[in-house]
Chains A and B, each alone.
Chain A
Amino acid sequence: MSEIENKTENGSTESAGECTTGDTKDDKGLGLGVIFFIVAFVGCFLSGTLLFPKLLYSKKEQPFNFDHALHVGEAGDCESCHSFREDGSFTGIPKLDTCLDCHSEEALGETDDEAVFVEEYVLEEKEVPWYVYSRQPDCVFFSHAAHTQTAGMDCVTCHGHIGESTSLKPYEENRITGYSRDIWGKNIFGIKKHSWDRMKMDDCAECHKKETGHKGYCFQCHK
């Protein structure tokens, strides 16, 4: 008998005592193992789905609330504030100067938010440090002009109905990447119902494939 066999024999002999009386318990042990499996599986799956996002993202409040619906009503359309420069580049989130085209040191309305805006930013001549839900990583080049002006897309396709909202949701920042949760999408599985639910590369490629017949090349966006 080899040493290993000896050891195995010894090993089985050691547990044999327990096993002899436990032949019937063996099945129960398995049953308990299955229960433990299911409990652990469900527990980990639910934590990965429900708890993990809470840990992954930190919630941040915007400096003050902004009523898009009100502003669209007053100013006209998205481009009134989110405009294009002469060279075709996109201004993105308006600078204080753009706000001051309509606003001044005298508040236009009566909301607390405007009071904060006037006192902390207009009078202090400070830019509002908005958190940007749609900010893409620095390695991504994106031209708004190519999409909205050349291809004629509307803002809603990617940004959803933010123009109709009356308040800003909290900004959820990914603790690892530093980018907004809106890029991956609210659904942690990455499942989307609308085109504006996610802003990942696959979503760009999906639309490009549909509209142009090709997903596009790396260097089109990653310069």
Chain B
Amino acid sequence: MKVDRRSFLGLGLGAVAGVAVSPIGMKLTDDSSIWTQNWPWTPVPVDGEVTYENSVCSLCPGSCGLSVRKIDDRPVKIEGLAEHPVNDGGACLHGIAGLQYLYDPARVKTPLKKNGDKFEEISWDDAIALVAGKLADLRKKGSPEKLACIADKEQGSVSGLFQRLLKTFGSPNFYTMPSLESYLEVTATALHGEGMTIGFDLENSDFVLSFGSGIIEGWGSPVNCFKANASRKARHAKLYQIESRLSNTAANADKWIPVKPGTEADLALGMCAVILKNNLFDGGATANFIGGFNKLAIMIQKEYAPSKTAEITGVKASDIEKIATLFAKAKMPVAVFGKGRGDGAQSLKELAAVHTLNCLVGNINKKGGAFVQLKSDYLEFPDESMDTIADAGFAKNKTGRYVNQLVEKVNESSKPVVEALFVYNANPCYSLHDSKSVKQAIGKIPFVVSFSSFLDETAKEADIVLPSHTFLERLEDVPSCAGLAKSVVGLTKPVIEPVFDTKHAGDAVILIAKALEGSIAESFEWETYDECLESVAAGIWDSLSEDGYAIISEGVPFGSVAVNVSFLADNPATVQARGDYELTLIPIDNMRLINAGIAASPFAIKTVSDKVLKGSDIVVEINPLTAKGLKDRGYATLTTPTDTARVMINLNEGMMPGVIGMVEGLGHTFDNKYVSNKGINVNDLIGPVIESGSGLDAAFGIKVKISKA
């Protein structure tokens, strides 16, 4: 017998047949189908016990109640908390993506110290000792007022601890970033007196006259506003939107009134003139005017007659008369101010002029109107102990009235006017106008301490970073700061153990104070922030800890409020945009992005339309009439007095001719590849314009020219 080709054929056939009838084929087919449906490299969420924990969102001033779904103690999903007085079950895209911040690539994982150009890790003990040592030197030199602090807001216990540290240290230099709340207070202070603030009863008003407020684009407490707007049709209420651009709010409104950017104050005064001239004002309410009423009445009849106002604002005189009349004759009208999200640059003239409309038609402290009341003061800190250095330093004048002026003073002065700076929950190197000069000012300050959770644009400039817990890792009171008709304080609760070696900023402040010893340490009697919160919020602690929130005030406030319009009666100059170019660049607020404090999450960035961001190119909106030769989706160079930028064009008839719109919230430059280096930061292009008298940065835009790239 000889082995020949047939034998091999037999061998081959036998092997094939043997394998075919063996289970190999069937089993491998089954296994590979399971494998392809469950790729082993795809993370599979761990199964476990489902629990829910309630907390409060502090990503924006909205302060929505949240319900965090957890599997075996690991938070996996965030939803709006049903029956919460602010948002009743709703949440925006930033809130529901809040978990992404826990694992953000830019998170600061442990305290950092700048060495040359680089950061090196240090222990918490060393970091606190270093900060306390530097501050002690400042006190020894007798210039405690050269310690400044920039925080996101004035309200709340953590901000309270920073203010207390500065005061007991001997510095009056506590600043907050511009916010809707700060503008509400500035307006209330100018027209009604110190310590007041304003809320708007949008849920009940039957005629909302919005001066550019993005009612459905992140203004105020966003989810609360969505809900109020959603019920508008059913309530037969009207929304009139005065804005240079057909925003989502304008598109959703009953009427859109395009206005030349920066002339909203003039338009409001023009409407006041119509109301006064036609005796449409509330006679009873005018009795509350304690200053400047007659002078204002004369001034506006002269300067803001409809035809004159029409010329300034671009709104037809007949429309001005009609809208003012409709507003005055409505049962529960309310005029709302704060363009976009309400936290951008605003002029006091505009804020006050719009609010004067409310005062004239007598809707102050009436259902559906504007609620003017004392700022909610639910925290009771014990008296500080002040030594002589603290007393002397604290009595000195602040370096600037607002944060922009602080920046200006630091840059102008050859000697250091600020020697140490704390930055908490704020990113001035990104959010303030002309970010280059802000960076320059921060660079001039010899010792900068950032309490940021992320190595953001400002933290990168710091000498020490003391990383804070994110809002999901900490306990904190969160007062609603967003022009709501009711005043609610929520309690943010830790829903997860800190992911990194971070600390509560409140604890870090207490540790610094204790390390400074003497009267400063004495003023910080608490061992931990949690203990401090429970004691300073003792008055509302039961409902705060049990329900997760406490309602400080609700319903229509009682009593009338005095109004002083002397400031307006002097007809302060309307702020003009900087530069000599023909076109005006204005920032646009988009609900999917965040401009202040924190950057939008990777999830939120992914949802941004390619009419706003195309790849890494920012898209600007321009009317085809203005575009002259520029092609839709083509590239152009934008030149402002401060900078130039390459942009993509979106021809949009919803933009007023002569105006170019650029979204806010893009162009971050820190180390998060999902968020950074996408588009440009509009704040780099717009330089501040300080309003004389108020001291506010009122740069509503900047003059630009545009040419084909």
Q: Chain A residues in contact with chain B, CB under 8 A?
A: 25, 28-49, 52, 56, 85, 87, 89, 91-92, 95, 137-139, 174, 176-179, 184, 188-190
Contact = CB atoms under 8 A, between A and B. Distances in A.
B6 A33 contact: yes
A44 B31 contact: no
A176 B22 contact: no
B11 A48 contact: no
A49 B24 CA distance: 8
B1 A28 contact: yes
Given A40-B11, A179-B34, A190-B23, A48 B2 contact: no
A184 B30 contact: yes
Contact of B38 (A47, A89, A177): A177
A139 B15 contact: no
B30 A33 contact: no
A44 B18 contact: yes
A56 B34 CA distance: 14
Nearest to A222: B37
Contacts of A184: 27, 30
A40 B10 contact: yes
A32 B35 contact: no
B7 A29 contact: yes
Nearest to A45: B18
A49 B22 contact: yes
Interface in B1-35: 1-4, 6-19, 21-24, 26-28, 30-32, 34-35
Contacts of B1: 28-29, 31-32
Nearest to A33: B10
A42 B19 CA distance: 9
A178 B49 contact: no
Contacts of A46: 18, 22
Given A40-B11, A40-B12, A85 B49 contact: yes
B234 interface: no
Given A32-B1, A188-B27, 4 more contacts: A28-B2, A35-B7, A39-B14, A43-B14
Interface in B26-66: 26-28, 30-32, 34-35, 37-38, 40, 44, 47, 49-50
Given A40-B10, A177-B38, A29 B18 contact: no
A27 B143 CA distance: 113
Nearest to B12: A40
Contacts of B37: 137, 139
Given A32-B3, A40-B12, A92 B47 contact: yes
Interface in B197-253: none
Contacts of B47: 92
A64 to B, nearest CB: 22
Contact of B50 (A42, A87, A176): A87
B18 A42 contact: yes
B10 A189 contact: no
Contact of B4 (A32, A35, A177): A32
Nearest to B40: A178
A32 B6 contact: yes
Given A44-B18, A52-B24, A137-B38, A29 B11 contact: no
B40 A52 contact: no
Nearest to A89: B50
A33 B6 CA distance: 5
5 contacts: A32-B2, A34-B10, A35-B10, A176-B31, A176-B34
A52 B49 contact: no
Closest 9 CB pairs of A and B: A48-B22, A44-B18, A40-B14, A33-B10, A37-B14, A36-B10, A37-B10, A41-B14, A33-B6
Contacts of B23: 48-49, 52, 188-190
B18 A48 contact: yes
Nearest to B19: A44
Contacts of B18: 40-48
Contacts of A38: 14
B27 A44 contact: no
Nearest to A138: B44
A28 B40 CA distance: 52
B2 A29 contact: yes
A188 B288 CA distance: 91
B6 to A, nearest CB: 4
Nearest to A39: B14
Nearest to A137: B38
A192 B18 CA distance: 23
Contacts of B26: 190
A32 B7 CA distance: 6
Contacts of B44: 138
B42 to A, nearest CB: 8
B7 A36 contact: yes
A39, A44, A56 — which one has the most chain B CB atoms within 10 A of its CB?
A: A44
A43 B17 CA distance: 10
Contacts of A49: 22-23
Contacts of A34: 10
Nearest to B32: A176
A32 B21 CA distance: 22
Nearest to B13: A37
Interface in B438-482: none
A164 B471 CA distance: 50
A20 to B, nearest CB: 15
A47 B24 CA distance: 9
Contacts of A28: 1-2
A92 B40 CA distance: 22
A188 B44 CA distance: 28
B41 to A, nearest CB: 11
A176 B3 CA distance: 39
B20 to A, nearest CB: 9
A139 B72 CA distance: 20
Contacts of B17: 37, 41, 44
B201 to A, nearest CB: 39
B11 A36 contact: yes
Contacts of B27: 52, 56, 184, 188
B31 A177 contact: yes
A188 B22 CA distance: 9
B6 A30 contact: yes
Contacts of B12: 40
A45 B6 contact: no
Contacts of B16: 44
Nearest to B4: A29
Contacts of A37: 10-11, 13-14, 17
A28 B2 CA distance: 8
B34 A43 contact: no
B1 to A, nearest CB: 5
Given A40-B12, A138-B38, A45 B21 contact: yes
Contact of A47 (B2, B22, B49): B22
A104 B573 CA distance: 78
A190 to B, nearest CB: 7
A41 B14 CA distance: 4
B35 A36 contact: no
B22 A45 contact: yes
Contacts of A39: 11, 14
Contacts of A85: 49-50
A29 B35 CA distance: 45
B671 to A, nearest CB: 33
Contacts of B3: 32
Contact of A32 (B10, B19, B22): B10
Nearest to B31: A176
A23 B498 CA distance: 87
A29 B14 contact: no
Contact of A33 (B9, B28, B49, B72): B9
A36 B31 CA distance: 31
A219 to B, nearest CB: 15
A189 B17 CA distance: 16
Contacts of A25: 2
Contacts of A30: 6
Contacts of B34: 137, 176-177, 179
Nearest to A127: B72
Contacts of A36: 7-8, 10-11, 14
